[in-house]
């Protein structure tokens, strides 16, 4: 088991850390683990391109294969750009960004911190008004020629920090929901204006279901 984790860690370190999900996995770590477990091929990462496949081949001892077109094509690095005149401030792109490089508030225009954008493209389908476009920032340089180890390390650090923060925020939100449901349950007669019989039972069931959901989310986290 320890050898398997070590193998997955080495594979993860060879990936570009764009967290784009084009490999078919939720993040680079999940793809690395799948490769280590023999459940995924080494040619599913378009951002890494042909050189990325070569790196993974050297690590795994597998033959280098052409990039699988089902997962996309190797290309230059792009960064997201938001047309601020059309942005409605819905925050959906902020939630979709794996490295937290989009700033803005609810119903306020958003903007992308270009230096931190990995070009993952996950913000584009999230935008309901189609105000996000991609800009080529590396010209004809593609794959690892358009990216660097320093870029990958920085992106991985931001992704891990963002993931931890979001998990913490979700846990705190779940805790608040659980506490609110418990308080409502304790004050049920007062809050229901002393309802009785089937009506009281119905309202109690609603609150108990909400409490059960909050506890299930807490336990799952």
pLDDT of residue 76 exceeding 70, the answer is yes
pLDDT at residue 11 is higher than 90: yes
Do 111 and 85 meet the contact criterion of CB atoms below 8 Å apart? no
Q: Does the pLDDT value for residue 182 go beyond 90?
A: no
| pLDDT tier, 8 (very low <50, low <70, confident <90, very high otherwise) | very high
Question: Is residue 221 over pLDDT 70?
Answer: no
Give the whole-angstrom CA distance, residue 201 versus residue 23. Answer: 49
pLDDT at 199 over 70: no
22 vs 178, more confident: 22
Closest C-alpha among 87, 118, 121 to residue 104: 87
Q: What is the pLDDT of residue 69?
A: 96
Q: How confident is the model at residue 192 (pLDDT cuts 50, 70, 90)?
A: low
What pTM was estimated for this model as a whole? 0.79
């Amino acid at each position: 088991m320890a050898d398997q984790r070590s193998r997955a860690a080495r594979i993860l370190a060879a990936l570009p850390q764009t967290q784009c999900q084009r490999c078919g996995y939720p993040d680079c770590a999940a793809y690395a683990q799948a490769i280590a477990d023999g459940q995924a091929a080494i040619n599913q990462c378009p951002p890494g391109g042909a050189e990325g496949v070569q790196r993974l081949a050297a690590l795994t001892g597998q033959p280098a294969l052409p990039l699988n077109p089902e997962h996309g094509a190797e290309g230059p690095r792009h960064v997201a750009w938001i047309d601020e005149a059309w942005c409605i401030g819905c925050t959906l792109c902020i939630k979709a960004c794996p490295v937290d490089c989009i700033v803005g508030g609810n119903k306020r225009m958003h903007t992308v911190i270009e230096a931190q954008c990995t070009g993952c493209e996950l913000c584009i389908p999230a935008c309901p008004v189609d105000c996000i476009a991609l800009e080529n920032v590396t010209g004809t340089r593609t794959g690892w020629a358009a990216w660097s180890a320093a870029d990958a390390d920085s992106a991985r650090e931001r992704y891990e920090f963002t993931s931890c923060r979001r998990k913490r925020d979700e846990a705190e939100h779940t805790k608040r929901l659980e506490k609110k449901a418990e308080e409502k349950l304790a004050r049920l007669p007062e809050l229901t204006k002393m309802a009785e019989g089937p009506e009281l039972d119905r309202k109690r069931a609603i609150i108990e279901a909400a409490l059960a959901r909050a506890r299930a989310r807490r336990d799952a986290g």
